[in-house]
Every structure is written in C-alpha cells, then in structure tokens.
Amino acid sequence: MNFFQAQERAKRNTSYLIFLFALSVIFLIAITVLFLAVVFLYSSDITLSEIMQNPALFISKDLIIGVSIVVMTVVGGGSLYKYFALSSGGKAIALSMGGELVVRNKASANEEMLLNVVDEMAIASGISTPEVYLLKDDAINAFAAGFTFDDVVIGVTQGCINRLNRDELQGVIAHEFSHIFNADMKLNINLVAMLHGILLIGLIGKFMFKSVFYGNHYKHNSDGSKKNNSALYLLGVGGGLMAIGYGGTLLGNLIKASVSRNREYLADATAVQYTRYPDGIAGALKKIGYYSSAISSPQAETYSHFYFASALDSLFATHPPLATRIRRIDRSFNGNYEEALGKLKSDKDKRGRNKSGKRTKAKDYFSKIAVASVISNVGSVDEQVVEDISTQIKELPKTLKDRVDEPLGAQAILLALVYNSKYKVELFYALHKANPYLLHEFTNLLDEGHYDINKYAHILVELSLNPLKNLSLEQYKVFKELMNVFIDADKIVSIYEWSVFYNISRPLEINLEIHKIPKAIHSHIGAVKKEVEVLYSMLAFHQSKDETVAKDAFDQTKKEIKAGALNYISSKEINHTDFLNSVKELERLKPPMQLRVFEGLIYLAKIDKKISIVERNLLNALSKMMQIPLNLG
C-alpha cells in the first residue's frame, strides 16, 4: 500500500468510525430511554395492565425526543471539548500521557541513540523531525501522535530505550512512522474525542452518585430509614447513568478494537519494509513478551490505541495477540519468551548485511529512478537512505555538531547558510543591533569553518528545527527579521534562500500557532494556473539559465502531467513576490491536485538527469507544504 492509498484508506476508516459512533449514540439513547422509563414507572402509580393497554404511558414520544436531545448534546459537547483540548496536536497528547521532552544537549547515551534513530528516519522520509517525549515507565512501548506532519511527536518509554538495542529501537520507530504515513494519527485523535463524549454520560452519573451519597441529601433517621426519598431516586439515576457509562466504555473498547487491530499488522509489515531487518521489530516484540508493555499512567486506557503494543490488559485489546504479531515476522518463534530473550542476548549487535558486508550508496538514488517510482515511494523509508543520512550526520564538521543542537548555535548556522560576505558590514551591524550574543556565535562559527556549509544544508536545516522550537515568540520574530535581512541583502531572493528559510519557518510558526494551515479549496489545476506557471517557469529557468532550454523543459513537463493550457513565463516577468504568492495559493490545493502538481515538479527537477542542492531543498520545502513525505535519497 503506497502513501496515497493509505490516505484513502484512512478516509474510509474515518467514515467507518463515524458510522460506529452514530450507532453508539443510538444505543446510548435507547438504553437511557429504557432506564428512565423504568425509573418513572417505579415512581408512579401506573400498573402493568395500563401499560399493556397504552404503551405510550411507559415510553412516550416526548421522552424519546427529550433523551435524544440531551444525549446528543452531552456526547457531542464532550467530543468537541476533547477535540479542542487536543487541538495543539501531538505535544498536548504527549504531555497528557506524562511525557517529558528529550533535549539533545541534556540527553543520556540511550536518549541520544533514540534521537538519532528518529532524526535518521524523519530526514530519510522527508518530514520535519518530530519532537521526542520520554515516558518514565519501565514498560516497553512507544507511540506517535499528531494531526499532521507538522505537529507530530514520538513518545517512547524509559523501558524501551533501556532494554532495546539500536536495531530493535529502529524497528519500533519505523512502526510508528508507518502510522504517521498511513494517516492513523488523526484517526486516533478523532477516536479519543468521540469516545470521550460517549463516556461522559457515565462520568455525569458518577458525579451525581457521589454528590448524593456523600452529600447532605442522603441521611438516615435514628431507626435507619432514609429521610429523603428524592435522594434515593437521585442515587438510582446516578447509578443507572454509571451503568450506561460502563456500556459506553464497552462500546468504546469494541470500536477501538475494530479500528485498530488490522492497522498494527500493517505497521509491523511496513516497519520490516523500511528497515529491511525483520529481527529488529521481532526482537522488540519478544522482549515485550518477556518484560511488559503495560503502561502505569492513568491515561493508558484513553490512549491505548496509540501505542506500539497493548498498554493494558483487556478483553477488547486494541492490538493483536503478541505471539501472532511475532509469528507473522518470525515463523520460527515457538511462543517461549524466556528462550527468545536468551537468544537475543547471545545474538546481541549481530546485524546481517549482504555477504560482502557492502552496501550500494544511496547518493543520486532520487535522480536515477522514474517519476512513477518516486511517487510510489512517497511515504516510505529506504534503508539505504536511512544509513546514508546516518553517515552524513556523523560526518558533520565538529563546529557544526557542537552548535546545531542548541537554539543560539542553530540560529547562527541557518544565518550562515544564507550569508553573503559582500555585505558583511551591513549584516554584522544588523546582528549586533538585534542580538549581540548571536553575533558572537555567528562570528565564531565563521572563524572556525573551513568547509562548504551549503554542502550540509539539508541535514542542518532538519537538525536545527527542534532546538529552535524552544524560542519564544519574540525571539522567533527577531530571528525571522534577521533571516530576512540576510536573504534580502543582495535585493534578490533565490529559490535556495527561500527553501532554507521556509523549511524552518513553516513548522516553527505552526508550533508557535501563528501560522494556520489554510483549508484546501482548489480541486482543479485551472484554479491555480498562474501559480503553477510561475513555479514551473522559475524552476525550469533556474536549471539552465537559458530561456529557450527552460521553455522546452516547461513544455515537456506540462505534457507529462497533461496540463496543456499552462504557458511558460519568462524569468524577466517573474519577481519574488509572484513566487511567494504562488506558493501560498498552492497550499490550498486538494490532495489529488497536489499530487499532480508535485509530479510535474519531480519530472522537471529530473529532466537534466541530476538533482542539485537547490532543487533538493525546493522539493523538500514544497513536499512539506503539501504534506507529501518525499524520500529524496
């Protein structure tokens, strides 16, 4: 299943979820009507024979309508409340689970390993590196949470990083990335919100019961008889609503189980595909069998369907049986976890490669495969690319490694990526005026650097993102203004400069809640004809710097995507404002049109048989804008 098929499957699952939710509400209305009818009957003088003659005396139309309105209001209100409570995305969910943000410059050796695995997987798959949260729990478990690629976080338990080796941890993280690409995250959040509404009736009943039982409404006479009969009825109503709430819990668990189980098999299989190492994820599952995946947090039940493995013991488990998952990956598994653990310990750090131990370099992978292959690989992770990214990170010059993990150093690095020494005096003055500490960091970086920093641009941009999320809104505004000063120094904003800053500014502004993702409204290419023409024309001219060659490349591209109405625009007729406005409007494309436009971008970038650093950064920026995770190789 490729990325786009997964998105369609997620939409179908959402429709299925809404259907189950509607059935649950109808069930709650029915049992609430029945319960209240019994209560009213008990408190009245109506006889059974009278009800047989006139059933409306037992269940009236007014009762059904009234209960329906109340139940739908309570359930709908509870669901909306929970949805908005989680609207900030993965961070809110991780914090509610008790997670603590892992900061690289304060990380332990195991935490550093975890961050490296997440970095490599994210960069190789073409999405912004997620923040990582650690749950102080001895269980072996993990989760991915968020609405979009921009707000996704990865959560991992302490037991996970303490007990798993790197390959096993990579298998777990690959499993979670599968959930990210298969659009399971948003479905999970929708499920939490919907179930909160269903469970709210039981919570109201529990509140009523406790209020009456422990309050002043329920007292006894000296002979032991109750003083207040109305309190007795309130106790009965509260207890009944609690029972209905338990029914809602039962329904919720059934819904979780029906929606979640098959997704876990898919995520396991995809993790094997991503890592090309079945023993990694199989080893993690075997260790869970020996130790445990049960989370001690009180929120474990609410978020049970988010986790890598079952977070609690339940009849309606959200995950398939552990042994079944293992046997789908390792057919030789005999169900003995103690024996499996002993074998894992004896095989520690023995990861098989090909017989020669050599790998094919992933460099130029993207430029050598067809557009159709690139599109089919969207939302996937290539093991070679992951290892290539790992190598690139290890090969970063020390002066960059020492800085990229903390906010001030990351800002200095990004400024260096767009620095033009011809305007040194003006730029240094702007730095001194805005932030003298940053000026000091920047000058030290320049003094220590004896390398082409742009060679590492792709890696540095991605690694700097999470440290920069620690900036306050005011600090970000100062940094943004400085970036604009550096970029505008020569009065020309290049595609490269825009791409570097956009790859950082968009996720940061979403994190700071000052950029709202616009609603997708354009369903055909004609609605954004001018914008597509500007983007394609700029990229075509950038490749060749020759109008005739650029127009020919443009014409080949529009033929490839069957958009014959598009017309090439001369580079003299396009300014930077046109480019910015075009990108902004293309963010409003609906997914099918995004794919069509993106196919054209890939075709155009590959037309000269090579992918430059500038093209790579542009494609990376636009893929993030369109929420299309692109494996650039």
Identify the CATH number of the domain in which residue 310 sits.
3.30.2010.10
Q: What is the DSSP string of 66-88?
A: HHHHHHHHHHHHHHHHHHHHTTT
Res 116 pLDDT > 90: yes
pLDDT single digits (tens) 255-308: 777 777 778 888 898 888 888 889 999 999 999 999 999 888 888 878 888 899
Residue 146 near residue 140, CB atoms below 8 Å: no
Instruction: Say what the pLDDT of residue 550 is.
Output: 93
Res 5 pLDDT > 50: yes
- Asked if the structure places residue 15 within a domain, the reply is no
Q: What is the mean pLDDT of the chain?
A: 83
Instruction: Say what the pLDDT of residue 342 is.
Output: 86
114 band by pLDDT with thresholds 50, 70 and 90: very high
Instruction: Say what the pLDDT of residue 569 is.
Output: 94
Instruction: Say what the pLDDT of residue 422 is.
Output: 93
Token pair of 550 as six digits: 């650029």
Res 315 pLDDT > 70: no
3-class DSSP state of 219: coil
Same domain, 441 and 475: yes
- Asked if the structure places residue 191 within a domain, the reply is no
Question: In the chain, pLDDT over 70 holds for what percent of residues?
Answer: 85
pLDDT single digits (tens) 516-567: 888 889 888 899 999 999 999 999 998 888 999 999 999 999 998 899 999 9
Same domain, 499 and 592: no
Instruction: Say what the pLDDT of residue 354 is.
Output: 41
Instruction: Say what the pLDDT of residue 376 is.
Output: 62
- Asked if the structure places residue 51 within a domain, the reply is no
Instruction: Say what the pLDDT of residue 125 is.
Output: 84
Res 253 pLDDT > 80: no
- Asked if the structure places residue 56 within a domain, the reply is no
Token pair of 66 as six digits: 């009234």
Q: Which residue has the higher pLDDT, 532 or 208?
A: 532
Question: Nearest 5°: CA angle at 90, between 467 and 464?
Answer: 15
- CA 464 to CA 614: how far, in whole Å? 19
Q: Which residue has the higher pLDDT, 239 or 177?
A: 177
Same domain, 468 and 585: no
Token pair of 64 as six digits: 């059904």
- Domain stops at, among 323, 338, 353: 338
- Asked if the structure places residue 54 within a domain, the reply is no
- Domain stops at, among 511, 538, 561: 511
* Structural domains counted in the chain: 3
Same domain, 157 and 298: yes
List 176, 264, 301, 406, catalytic entry: 176
Same domain, 173 and 284: yes
Same domain, 288 and 180: yes
Instruction: Say what the pLDDT of residue 556 is.
Output: 94
Same domain, 453 and 433: yes
Instruction: Say what the pLDDT of residue 357 is.
Output: 39
Token pair of 342 as six digits: 């002993």
- The mean pLDDT value for 92-109 works out to 90
Q: Where are the alpha helices (DSSP H) in 522-612?
A: 529-544, 547-560, 576-586, 591-606
Q: What is the DSSP letter of 301?
A: T
Same domain, 533 and 484: no
- Asked if the structure places residue 576 within a domain, the reply is yes
- The mean pLDDT value for 123-130 works out to 87
- The mean pLDDT value for 16-29 works out to 80
Same domain, 529 and 507: no
What burial letters (b/e) apply to 431-462, b meaning 16+ CB within 10 Å? beeebeebbebbeebbeeeeeebbebbbbbbb
Residue 268 near residue 328, CB atoms below 8 Å: yes
- CA 48 to CA 81: how far, in whole Å? 42
Annotated catalytic, 176?
A: yes
Same domain, 175 and 318: yes
Same domain, 530 and 507: no
Q: Which residue has the higher pLDDT, 515 or 461?
A: 461
Res 365 pLDDT > 60: no
Instruction: Say what the pLDDT of residue 355 is.
Output: 36
Residue 616 near residue 126, CB atoms below 8 Å: no
204 band by pLDDT with thresholds 50, 70 and 90: confident
Contacts of 108 (CB under 8 A, 6+ apart): none
What burial letters (b/e) apply to 305-335, b meaning 16+ CB within 10 Å? bbbbbbbeeeebbbbbebeebbebbbeebee
Continuous segment of H or E residues that includes residue 156:
strand 153-157
Same domain, 492 and 523: no
Residue with tokens 């989680």: 86
Q: Pick from 328, 323, 299, 297: which is nearest to 309 by CA? A: 323
Residue 226 near residue 270, CB atoms below 8 Å: no
- Domain stops at, among 496, 511, 526: 511
Cβ atoms within 10 Å, residue 90:
28
- Asked if the structure places residue 31 within a domain, the reply is no
Q: Which domain holds residue 451?
A: 396-511
